Amino acid sequence: MTPVHIAGRGLACSLGLGVEQVLASLPQLASHAIQVTLPGAMAGDYPYHAIPFSRSDWNERARELVQRVAAEAGAQQIRDGVLLIATSSFDIGAVERGATQMDYQAFADKVAAWLDWGGPVHVVNTACTSSLNALLAAQALLRSGAASDALVLGIELDNRLTLGGFAALQLLSRTGSKPFGEHRDGLVLGEAVAALRLSTRDSALWRLAGGANVVDGEQPTGASVRAVKEMCAHAFADSAVAADAIDLIKVQAAGSPGNDAVEAQGLRETFKHIPPLVSLKAAMGHTMGASGAAEIALLTACLERGVWPLCENEGDAELGVTLAATMPQNVRRFMATILGFGGSHASVILERA
């Protein structure tokens, strides 16, 4: 099967602009969330991971961030390739400010114009799993020969609707993100723009081996154990790797009391020996539709540069899983998992080429 390489990456998140700045900020994770005040029944302050980049105009800020991140990933080399935009919120922040109308195609056209994109454009919205599903679609398109290059662009930017909706559903933490933590009490959301450039022409350090997405309608706002297990099994099959060949799992672990427990149980029932686990949510927040691309961009950089996120909160012994305090040695192959709204469970496997 035609190998699909991660030939470039770019990232903007609360830790900084560009992979290098994010890596440099990673060990100081405690200081990066700001407080956002919400009105109404769930009124109060909520921690939020905002990108440290200000512009008065929403569209102008989005344009600069998208162009910067895409350029970092080398998108200018592949403007005739396939662009897959992954988002759960589109440009709703601009709609809230009266700067545009809610229109999917207008959003796609706007982003494509920012990048002077000439190839096909698809907008994938499967809520939190959007980026991973965009990766799976990109891999399929590249393997089919429809294109040689693709850019997966996760965009999740400041808007009140997502924060307000999650607050209304009582899914947000007021204290901070505690992945797999004993005192976890909800999600901390964040902004990110992340780009992964995929290529069947350019070889690179990391190869996308495969993955899977399983939608289970049993829990429309959460995860199910059976779907986590099926997701893992399908991802192994699609990647032609065995469970014991996985050296590291980047878990969803967003700090949700229920979902973290479901994910942990799914992992316990899938793996005879659970590999080392890592979560990036405490560092950058849960960046929703951008999270898959953002966390892969950061994790691959971490593994290459020997940087590891701090793991400050006390783990929940009842979960039977723990996050790795230090970087595991010789990671050749890792899984990256995102679980999300709409009962979507997605995971991809990357391996060193």
Q: Which residues bind another protein (CB under 8 A)?
A: 38-42, 88, 90, 92, 95-96, 102-105, 107-108, 120-127, 133, 136-137, 140-141, 143-144, 146, 160-161, 164-165, 167-169, 212-218, 220-221, 226-227, 230, 340-344
180 versus 236: smaller Cβ distance to another protein: 236
The neighbouring-strand residues paired with 179 are: none
Classify 140 as helix, strand or coil.
Answer: helix
127 versus 248: smaller Cβ distance to another protein: 127
CB neighbour list of residue 199: distance below 8 Å, 6 or more residues apart: 4, 5, 7, 78, 142, 148, 149, 150
The DSSP secondary-structure symbol of 69 reads H
CA distance 119 to 198: 14
Rounded to 5 degrees, φ, ψ at 193 are -125, 125
CA distance 281 to 174: 15
Q: How far is the CB of 78 from another protein (least distance, A)?
A: 16
Q: How far is the CB of 42 from another protein (least distance, A)?
A: 6
CA distance 285 to 193: 13
Q: How far is the CB of 38 from another protein (least distance, A)?
A: 6
Which one, of 67, 70, 37, lies nearest residue 55 by Cα?
67
The DSSP secondary-structure symbol of 342 reads G
Q: How far is the CB of 269 from another protein (least distance, A)?
A: 16
90 versus 180: smaller Cβ distance to another protein: 90
Q: How far is the CB of 262 from another protein (least distance, A)?
A: 15
What number of other Cβ atoms are within 10 A of residue 274's Cβ? 16
289 versus 309: smaller Cβ distance to another protein: 289
Q: How far is the CB of 250 from another protein (least distance, A)?
A: 20
